[in-house]
Structure 1
Amino acid sequence: MTFGIRLMTFSLALLLLLHPALPTQANNRNSSIAEALADRLPAEQADLQDFYAARQGRPAWQQPEAVTGFFAALSTVENDGLNAADYRSADLMSTHRQLQAAAGTLEDRVRFELRLSRVLMTVLHHLQRGKVDPQSVDPTWEMPVTIAPLNLPAISQAVDAQRFEQAFAMARPEAAPYQRLRAGLAQYRQLERQGGWPRLPERQHSLRPGDVHKDVALLRKRMLITGELAITDADEPASQTAASSPPETYEYDEHLVDAVRRFQQHHLLEEDGIVGRQTRAAMNVPVTERINQIRVNLERARWTLHGEAEDFVLVDIAGYRISYFRPNGEIWRSRIVVGQPYRRTPSLRSMITHLTINPAWTVPPTIYSEDMLPRIRRDISYLERQNISVLSFSGQWLDPYSVDWWNPGGIMLRQDPGPTNALGQVVLRFPNNHSVYLHDTPSQGLFSRQQRAFSSGCIRVQGVLDLAQMLLEDTGTPAHVDSLIAAGETRNIHLKRPVPVILHYWTVHPGVDGELVFRPDVYQHDASLLKALDRPLAPGK
């Protein structure tokens, strides 16, 4: 028996001496359980040892009301998108009843005590850092899940007070997006209990503002259910003035058009008020699928929403947005273009260390072989138009007309700095294993699209020159982006203080207005995560 365990047993004995009013039989039983726990704990996991150390070795589950209260609280994890059935409360409750009825041996009580504490620690860890290992569903994951230790003394006090939901709250992320996702999950589960929403019939033609059509009544009901359309007198059925004219609710009026635009804004669709194929498909997604979409994003939030720095750059891949949280409290936001589905932008956490001004671009092997080589074979003048040089691997310049482009051998392509350079005028660099970075682009027109997965993995940023200048100023780096660009030289400017950057994939996230925004799962990540989230825990977990 270690000194620490003996000390816990001594502490419990002292506690019992100081409370002589406690029933002697219960005192003796708890003392015996504490001694048995002290013998068993060295073989248990560190978190369980730490929990009982925070309790000075006292058992936690010898009062029947504590056990039943904990079982009742387990159901509340459904509000976090977890499955209460994972924690086998029914089986544990059955064991508890047997112990109550037959008293049970000391070994039975110790085994039950430890089993219930293991469940508590499992729930807390799931709420704090997620149930699923990110790398098990995304082999390219490059973002360590770094989380502060649980406040076990405070959690122990909450257990003694039977405030189990308070203990759970100490574990889950405090970040506002997580709380908003939880609220959204409750809202959509309420919609599910009410029967969800009607499905709009598939039509060959789009429903446009001003149209009069029988589908408008269903559309109006659909927008009312999810809150895009406020209830007004116009939502009540109107009487027909003539047998040949449709009721007023069949007219696709401006109020309903505005509601559809709000729906489109909350589903990353073109905000044109036209109910076409994509908008209709988004409206027809069942409420159950939306619930599961929120659940998997709550899990992603548990992986990432902990302990952010005072200032950091957040790249929202599926939302095609970037946010810079500045030290002065301001938030700079802009649009981005991310990787195509077959050249995905990875999820990672790193530090922006330096900027490259007027960059040259060495064409990556995949882009060279799959994209550029076919173009060069069709028209060798493509190289000159794009200001691309042909080099040997040793860096020697080669005459492009001397290369056999059907069997080019060991060469590489480099695009010189200039207005047509694929990286534009500025690159923001951060260490990672995927060779991705934030950069400018000459293809500004793509930023006007609502869905913007067009790159080869790197992130193109609208207004990146503004972002670069803010990073320089906020880190105390004496440089001016416009002057450096005008000088025409390729230069690396190292920030005096690296700035954290997070690249993450969310298919649901609170929008600027606080409402949930549902994004297309362009990388098809949700299904594998949902399957892992719903996979039952192995026995003993």
Structure 2
Amino acid sequence: MNKLYFLIVICFFISCKKDEPKVIRVKKTPPPAIILTDERKVVVDTALINVFKSETLKQFYIASENKSVWGNLKKRTYVLSQLKKAEELGLNPEDYKATTLEKYEKRISSLNDKELATYDILLTYNFELYLTHLYKGKLDPKKLYTDWDLEEKTFDPNNTLIKAFNKNKLDSIVDNIQPKHQTYKELLKALEIINTYPEEEATDTIRSADKITLNDTNNALIDIKKKLLFWKDLTGKDSLTNKYDKKTFEAVKRFQERHGLAADGVIGAGTLSALNFTKEGRKQQIIANLERWRWYNNDFAENYFIINIPNYSLNVIENQDTTLIRNVVVGTSKRKTPIITSKLKTVVFNPTWTVPPTILKEDIIPEMKKNRNYLAKKRITIFDSAGREVDPKAWNEDKPNSYRYVQSPGYNNSLGLMKILFPNHHSVYLHDTNHRNYFGRNNRSLSSGCVRIENPLELAEHILNDTIATNWPKEKIDSIIETKKTINIRITKKYALYQWYWTAWSKKNQLIFRADIYNLDSDLYSKLRN
């Protein structure tokens, strides 16, 4: 009886051990099986695959039962031709071992099994890398910048490649994988256009101590005319003189317009700076902008605001139609406007303005130490940590960060009469301004990071007027403004916000450039090529 009892106890413990909960590991969905044809196939040694330290590559060859897949000449030829043409899309063919792969292809009939397997792996690895770079960029903006807040793009190169491989649609995969937005297409066209220009003669930097105006005589005009001829803003075979004639004047205005400068024909520092760019410099700028556009969303919302920071412009797009265009003021190079993808949430009429830390440190505190009445003139009230109002005379200049500084609503409030809020990690928003004369300037990199909008109340009326739910006529908005009371209005119509940065594109076969106000282009190009 004791033996029987002992056996029952042992069985009980064994059964309990078996019933212990197990950790469930969710496996990634494996890629579809690869349909192989009857060309020469060899076994791919996993040791060769492991050299690349790529889980994606392992999964690819699991889908082919560890057999080589690129036996078909037509498929190989397509991959090789695409990698060789990577330069046409702003990428470097040697990032994808184009020359090495060509050497393998020339010896294809004499490759032993191990060499053929190596060639197969190299084709797969580099073509998937190429597709990934075309879809989401070669570099990760989050690793480059602290003020770029974009939605992360995910990409499964195995599924994309295997589906095209099995359906014999490799010839469309490169086109399908790239961004579809018109600006990206205009950048590809810009790269095509600039490649048609001849190699440029080396010239010294063009300088002029004074601005050059119509009918002036200036020795710099000879090199200026050479540049205008090279970029095709000036045509003909006129002799190169130092006289600023009418024909050159019109060419300068064309050049200025293409570069976002005041098209007044006056040759000043901005125009000379743009003229001093070389063909190679402009080509690198285009390539840097192609990379940026691969970071941005592939799928755009039905309705959205798109801001091009270097172009100082905001476009409202609704159902693929541009319904409003506004000039904007953006952050300075020291207080940059962050790059953001978000959604518009709220319009705030008669906003108060709480002084942010940077402005407090760099502007407010130094002025307060000079003059305690400084804040009163700007209608800014000081509050302590308990929310009590503090007399400027009692302000403790040794503990300036222990206070909150709030400007009352009104026409001269730093945010103007309204602001538009959207979720972001940078405490920025779109808003009116008390410096409304700034919109007439050509260089509008003047703010502390937020984007200021020209004629913002008209914009508010436009986006709040949802014909189904609400009606916001101008008179209604004006009556709210008159109260000088802060009112928050939820935006019922869905608008995405794309607050982005690009300095090059093309229009009607013309190259368009903007000043790289945050000095990002050359550094990005350098990182792309390293």
Pairwise TM-score range, normalised by the shorter structure: 0.7 to 0.9
SS in 2 for 1:330: strand
Deviation at 1:94, TM superposition (A): 2.7
Aligned to 1:80: 89
Aligned to 2:324: 332
Aligned to 2:526: 531
SS in 1 for 2:345: strand
SS in 2 for 1:334: strand
Equivalent of 1:421, from 405, 413, 418?
Answer: 413
Contact 1:440 1:462 in 2 (8 A): yes
Within 5 A, what are the aligned runs for 1:39-118?
A: 45-46=55-56, 49=59, 60-64=69-73, 66-102=75-111, 104-105=112-113, 107-118=114-125
Aligned to 2:17: none
Aligned to 2:164: 155
Aligned to 1:318: 310
Within 5 A, what are the aligned runs for 1:13-28?
A: 26=38
In structure 2, the CA distance between the partners of 1:216 and 1:44, relative to structure 1 (3 Å rule), is: closer
Equivalent of 1:261, from 248, 253, 262?
Answer: 253
Contact 1:128 1:173 in 2 (8 A): yes
- Normalised to the residue count of structure 2, the TM-score between the two structures is 0.84
SS in 2 for 1:325: strand
Q: Residue type of the partner of 2:90?
A: G
Give % identity.
Answer: 28
Equivalent of 2:482, from 476, 480, 486?
Answer: 486
Q: Residue type of the partner of 1:487?
A: T
Equivalent of 2:195, from 189, 196, 202?
Answer: 189
Structure 1: runs of 5 or more not aligned: 17-25, 239-246, 536-541
Equivalent of 2:146, from 131, 139, 145?
Answer: 139
In structure 2, the CA distance between the partners of 1:141 and 1:222, relative to structure 1 (3 Å rule), is: same
Aligned to 1:236: 237
Q: Aligned residue pairs: how many?
A: 494
For 1:5 and 1:110, the matched residues in 2 are separated by: 22
Give a deviation string over 1:378-413, Cα, whole Å, max 9, x none: 222222221111101221111112223355462111
Deviation at 1:211, TM superposition (A): 2.4
SS in 1 for 2:266: coil
Contact 2:83 2:127 in 1 (8 A): no
Aligned to 2:268: 276
For 1:296 and 1:6, the matched residues in 2 are separated by: 33
For 1:278 and 1:358, the matched residues in 2 are separated by: 38
Deviation at 1:514, TM superposition (A): 7.0
Please, which moves more after superposition, 255-264 or 350-359?
255-264
Equivalent of 1:127, from 125, 128, 134?
Answer: 134
In structure 2, the CA distance between the partners of 1:124 and 1:328, relative to structure 1 (3 Å rule), is: closer
Contact 2:200 2:278 in 1 (8 A): no
Aligned to 1:370: 362
Structure 2: runs of 5 or more not aligned: 1-26
Equivalent of 2:207, from 199, 202, 208?
Answer: 202
For 2:32 and 2:376, the matched residues in 1 are separated by: 79
Give a deviation string over 1:235-292, Cα, whole Å, max 9, x none: 3337xxxxxxxx8x65423332222122112223232211123312210111111111
Q: Residue type of the partner of 1:101?
A: S
Contact 1:51 1:152 in 2 (8 A): no
In structure 2, the CA distance between the partners of 1:379 and 1:329, relative to structure 1 (3 Å rule), is: same
For 2:400 and 2:49, the matched residues in 1 are separated by: 68
In structure 2, the CA distance between the partners of 1:516 and 1:473, relative to structure 1 (3 Å rule), is: farther
Contact 1:339 1:345 in 2 (8 A): yes
Aligned to 1:441: 433
Deviation at 1:213, TM superposition (A): 4.8
Give a deviation string over 1:189-248, Cα, whole Å, max 9, x none: 222x4436865742323321122455545433422321323x3xxx3337xxxxxxxx8x
In structure 2, the CA distance between the partners of 1:147 and 1:161, relative to structure 1 (3 Å rule), is: closer
Aligned to 1:19: none
Deviation at 1:51, TM superposition (A): 9.6
Deviation at 1:434, TM superposition (A): 0.4
